[in-house]
Structure 1
Amino acid sequence: MTFQKTILASSLFSLLSLGLSGQALAAEVPEGTRLAEVQQLVRGNGSEPASLDPHKTEGVPESNVLRDLFEGLVTSGPNGEILPGVAERWETADNQVYRFHLREDARWSNGDPVTAHDFEYAFKRAVDPRTASPYSWYMEKATIENATEVVNGKLPPEALGVRALDDHTLEVTLAKPVPYFVGMMFHTTTYPVHRATVEKYGDEWTRVGNMVSNGAYTLSNWVVNERIELKRNEHYWDNASTVVEQVTYLPIPSQNAEMNRFLSGELDMTYEIPLEHFKRLSSQHPDKVRVGGYVGTYYYQFNTRKPPFDDARVRNALSYAIDRDIIANMVMGQGEIPAYTLAPEVVDGFTPPAVAWADWSQAERDARAKALIEEAGYGKGKPLKFQLLYNTNDNHRKVAVAIASMWKKHLGVEVELVNQEWKTYLDTKTQGNFEVARAGWIADYNEASSMLDLMQTTHGNNDGKYSNPEFDRLMADSRLATDDETRNQLYAQAEEILAVDMPIAPIYQYVKARLVQPHVGGYPDNPLDNIYSKDLYIQAN
């Protein structure tokens, strides 16, 4: 391990003279903290990112890197709170027309100013059908004026309700009031992109040497399936508050391999923790195991367009026969909570309803599942057979093996497990080429609609093609509700519909468990797991 010289956080002038960062330290570094001379952070990142174009991504591995490379109007604080980003301030009189005032010192990594015109271009690019963004629906969800019509090709991108009033004022007009709109603006889909660079290089604009970004870091190296390296962006408006000089992301789909590299000192943070080693690691390395609440749910998705999964009896039978207590407490065992609804209990301001089947014993669920599967025409003489898709990951495999065993034991179901690498898996799900698939949804902002909207007929990530007009109506009405109580009542009714139709089988509510070296300072317990490397620092050993 590289020898690390010690520097006191209070010795700003000494730091400058040594040239460690060339800037003053962040206020978040406690006075007297002994900082390592080498400020390099190595993060495990699960899978190889499918893209680093903010408007062409949909997964967590991509978002982790993009949060370092780009910055939106606002950012997410350590506790998930909204903080100023490129926008210094904002105002609205009616929750329908929002004005964002951009800081004048915001710069792209090539020195160009970041302007309101950049955000206008980016928002319109995200909804442009030619971009084929998997998250174009996000602008529809935000109810930006004309977003739905633009996404569906009925209006040109220029009709989107976003305009730069001048270089530093962005106005966004919504089709209807959305009180939590600002909280949606720290998602990667709302990041600006450098128009001249995109137009010059086309699809190759995200390559090393081509990319121009506006976040705390720039892309310095990308070896596919090996590493992504970032270095500090000297033009970033808050570069003075950045401590970590270099960030390296390693795509390691095997949790065991990642754990071993962490324990050998190669990693500062892991993406996840191997299930079978969690208790041992918690006992032997309690100062390195970090577990926090996470606004997300792990579930199995049924392709409702493919028989027999167009039959709610089959979907309910398979869901009932999953013993969630065993999956959450024994297979996972990191603090996960059995899930019976799509929205988890930790979502801000909403308590999911107690759906009827959640109160049944597992024996009662198994009995009901057997009766339903037989009603649907399956049983000992005609076993239900299908493929279960999951992305390559040790933990997903363990869950799949356990659930397939439950289905075989109680329903006689014969399941073929199919695993695919992350990018292929995403493509397969998007194209609808699956029967049942492992899935998980992490809220894009901390509000129940970020979870429930997923099941709307027109949602871009509704890969199972579930459609229920009453569910759609409830979610549409929720966006018109002017008070939290009414909105939450509509959410509860929507959850009850899902509990009957069962387009997905909720399995457990996430927690975020990873290994973090004790020398990593500033690590937050963010409920959305939005971790910005610029807020971290390496302490001397």
Structure 2
Amino acid sequence: MTLTRRHLMASTAAVLVLTGTATLAESHIPADATLAAEQTFVYRVGDESPSIDPGKVEDTDGSDMVRQLFEGLYNQDADGNLIPGVATDYTVSDDNLTYTFTLRDNAKWSNGTPVTAGDFEYAWKRAASPALASPYSWYIELMSIENASAVIAGEMEPDALGVTAVDDTTLQVTLSEPLPYFPQMLTHSTTFPVLQSNVEEFGDDWVQPGNMVSNGAYVLTEFVPQERAVMSRNTEYWDNANTTLETVTRLVVADENVGLTRYLAGELDRTDVPAGQYPRLSQEYPDQAMSVPLSCSYYYMFNLRDNGPEEFQDPVVRQALSLAVDRDIIVDAVLAGGQKPAYNFTHWATAGFEAPEIAMANMTQEERNAQAQELLASAGYGADNPLTVDLVYNTNESHRAVAVAISQMWKQTLGVETTLANQEWQTFLDARGSGDFDVARGGWCADYNEASTFLDLMQSGSGYNDSKYVNEEVDALLANAKTSDNPNADYAAVEKIIATDMPIIPIYHYAAVKMLNDQIENWPVNNFQQNWYAKDLYKVAAE
């Protein structure tokens, strides 16, 4: 999958005069670029994020916003490589258990006070604290930070977490076991600092505009839930001189087709391509339509709790439903945006991952359908005893289109009766987390570029194992992978177990299928996670 835009990357150019007045030194903007008079970026999301508190944020849209407002120890460049954020360097002990980070001395909060190692210590301990009840506290445990499990479980106080501010510019982190990809995990929003005095002064309202003190390239200046959020340049940001966009605006537009209409009318600089429309749009707007691999996997999950539906406790039933899904139709006819069929959970483009041989992947759809029919019949379901499925997804036209297509496949192949229900995003998350579903749509985007970011969801204690799937062998393999010289062997074994137990139905691996204003330059198309930083973008004048 490739991007059809003319400008994939801006060169690292030097001195530029900005539309008549300001001068940027050491800029990432080419010297011959002509900037637009108004440096603004407006993009669409489909729903409001549950939180923009770095310690609580749990969705990709929320993380995109938090990444503009806050800065962690490290950022990513346009290719997804680590580059300095607040940290300028680190050392690691011989046993690979102690990381010591040196922080830059010119990093400031938006109120002008210095960003210190103590701000990171506070933020990480806060994120792990049961008092915060963060849906992402488990990420601190995934990082293998010393005592994280006990702190999250309430068995030890947050102060026992293995993170210490040695002085204002030195942060020391102690791990319980070596973790080769630990530095890669430090670009995630859960690890961003927050200012203790700011949180304590305003309580839950500290994230509101006018209250929030942040350390990223932008500050929050307007926030209307379910409508818009406006972020403006943070003049205290240490690299503000090299920031070009003045404002970044996030608009909530639930309907993808309405979003496209508003994009084509010039109201948006970026929006999602509705299901099935990429082929047409890429022909009509070759410099604006884009499809690149995106580190997310789309799947359906079964409720495997003890009080969940009895029919789905049988792996044979789950296998039958998975086999009957024609993934080629989903990606080629329903979505048509460069996605790829998924027969395993981990995205095919994940760094270092080698997908194992999955029997289903090498079958024709006719063979899959025949086997699905045999399996479902062996489980006791048929014309005299039809299987019924209640399928829930969050409100989105693409999710609806996929659900309708799959329900038709189940009906035609297996005689299954499916009831579809859509829910608003927060309601949907609550239902999944509490087990108020039979089968639910799932989508997981990598927190870092390594296979464990997907497969750890299959671990019995994972905070996002909403199926409540429990397999001791999977737990043991994932634990071993953390310190293994060849973790891919463990990952392959886990994928094979999933393909047999089928706690989830992998459906497709994502592509980022977007419309992007061709005046916006420096978009990180080669960043597999599509982690974008507005401070690195700029808008050129229209041709």
TM range (shorter): over 0.9
What does residue 478 of structure 1 align with?
A: 481
Deviations 1:386-422 (A, max 9, x none): 2111111111100000000000111111111111111
* Contact preservation (8 Å) 1:96, 1:174: yes
Q: How many angstroms does 1:458 deviate by?
A: 0.3
**Does 2:267 align with 1:277?**
no
What does residue 266 of structure 1 align with?
A: 267
Q: Structure 2: give runs of 5+ residues left out of the alignment.
A: 1-12
Residue 276 of structure 2: SS of its match in structure 1? helix
Deviations 1:248-300 (A, max 9, x none): 00111211011111100001111x20123211111110110111111221111
Percent sequence identity is 48
**CA 1:202–1:259 in structure 2 vs 1: closer, same or farther (change >3 Å)?**
same
Deviations 1:86-125 (A, max 9, x none): 1011111333211111000000111111000000000000
Deviations 1:349-388 (A, max 9, x none): 1111111121111112112212222222221112111211
What does residue 346 of structure 1 align with?
A: 349
* Contact preservation (8 Å) 1:26, 1:243: no
**CA 1:51–1:25 in structure 2 vs 1: closer, same or farther (change >3 Å)?**
farther
Instruction: Tell me the distance in 2 between the aligned counterparts of 1:138 and 1:11.
Output: 41
Residue 197 of structure 2: SS of its match in structure 1? helix
**CA 1:363–1:119 in structure 2 vs 1: closer, same or farther (change >3 Å)?**
same
Instruction: Tell me the distance in 1 between the aligned counterparts of 2:141 and 2:90.
Output: 21
**CA 1:46–1:514 in structure 2 vs 1: closer, same or farther (change >3 Å)?**
same
Matching residue within 404, 407, 411 for 2:410: 407
* Contact preservation (8 Å) 1:96, 1:176: yes
Deviations 1:127-184 (A, max 9, x none): 1011111111111111100101111111111110000000000000000001110000
What does residue 377 of structure 1 align with?
A: 380
Instruction: Tell me the distance in 2 between the aligned counterparts of 1:447 and 1:374.
Output: 39
**Does 2:213 align with 1:193?**
no
Amino acid at match of 2:129: D
Q: Structure 1: give runs of 5+ residues left out of the alignment.
A: 1-8
Alpha-carbon RMSD across the aligned residues, in angstroms, is 1.3
Amino acid at match of 1:76: Q
Residue 18 of structure 1: SS of its match in structure 2? coil
Pairs within 5 Å for 1:176-325: 176-270=177-271, 272-305=272-305, 306=308, 307-325=310-328
* Contact preservation (8 Å) 2:220, 2:232: yes
Instruction: Tell me the distance in 2 between the aligned counterparts of 1:70 and 1:196.
Output: 16
Q: How many angstroms does 1:46 deviate by?
A: 2.2
What does residue 494 of structure 2 align with?
A: 494
* Contact preservation (8 Å) 2:19, 2:35: no
Instruction: Tell me the distance in 2 between the aligned counterparts of 1:283 and 1:247.
Output: 29
What does residue 366 of structure 1 align with?
A: 369
**CA 1:373–1:517 in structure 2 vs 1: closer, same or farther (change >3 Å)?**
same
* Contact preservation (8 Å) 1:116, 1:166: yes
What does residue 340 of structure 2 align with?
A: 337
Amino acid at match of 1:281: L
What does residue 441 of structure 2 align with?
A: 438
* Contact preservation (8 Å) 2:202, 2:211: yes
Residue 318 of structure 2: SS of its match in structure 1? helix
Q: Which moved more, 1:456-465 or 1:286-295?
A: 286-295
Instruction: Tell me the distance in 2 between the aligned counterparts of 1:108 and 1:83.
Output: 20
Instruction: Tell me the distance in 1 between the aligned counterparts of 2:191 and 2:172.
Output: 14
Instruction: Tell me the distance in 2 between the aligned counterparts of 1:11 and 1:370.
Output: 67
Across the two proteins, how many residue pairs are aligned to each other? 525
Q: How many angstroms does 1:16 deviate by?
A: 9.0
* Contact preservation (8 Å) 2:73, 2:85: yes
* Contact preservation (8 Å) 1:10, 1:32: no
Instruction: Tell me the distance in 2 between the aligned counterparts of 1:381 and 1:55.
Output: 51
Residue 512 of structure 1: SS of its match in structure 2? strand
Normalised by the length of structure 2, the TM-score is 0.95
Instruction: Tell me the distance in 1 between the aligned counterparts of 2:343 and 2:323.
Output: 10
Amino acid at match of 2:192: Y
Residue 33 of structure 1: SS of its match in structure 2? coil
Amino acid at match of 1:348: A
What does residue 393 of structure 1 align with?
A: 396
Q: How many angstroms does 1:15 deviate by?
A: 3.5
What does residue 100 of structure 2 align with?
A: 99
What does residue 3 of structure 1 align with?
A: none
Matching residue within 461, 466, 470 for 2:464: 461
What does residue 49 of structure 2 align with?
A: 49
What does residue 527 of structure 1 align with?
A: 528
Instruction: Tell me the distance in 2 between the aligned counterparts of 1:163 and 1:11.
Output: 40
What does residue 148 of structure 2 align with?
A: 147
* Contact preservation (8 Å) 1:120, 1:164: yes
**Does 2:130 align with 1:116?**
no
Residue 205 of structure 1: SS of its match in structure 2? helix
Amino acid at match of 2:514: R
**CA 1:367–1:230 in structure 2 vs 1: closer, same or farther (change >3 Å)?**
same
Instruction: Tell me the distance in 2 between the aligned counterparts of 1:10 and 1:131.
Output: 45
* Contact preservation (8 Å) 1:25, 1:243: no
Instruction: Tell me the distance in 1 between the aligned counterparts of 2:428 and 2:25.
Output: 42
* Contact preservation (8 Å) 1:43, 1:249: yes
Residue 105 of structure 1: SS of its match in structure 2? coil
Amino acid at match of 1:509: H
* Contact preservation (8 Å) 2:276, 2:333: no
Q: Which moved more, 1:335-344 or 1:368-377?
A: 368-377
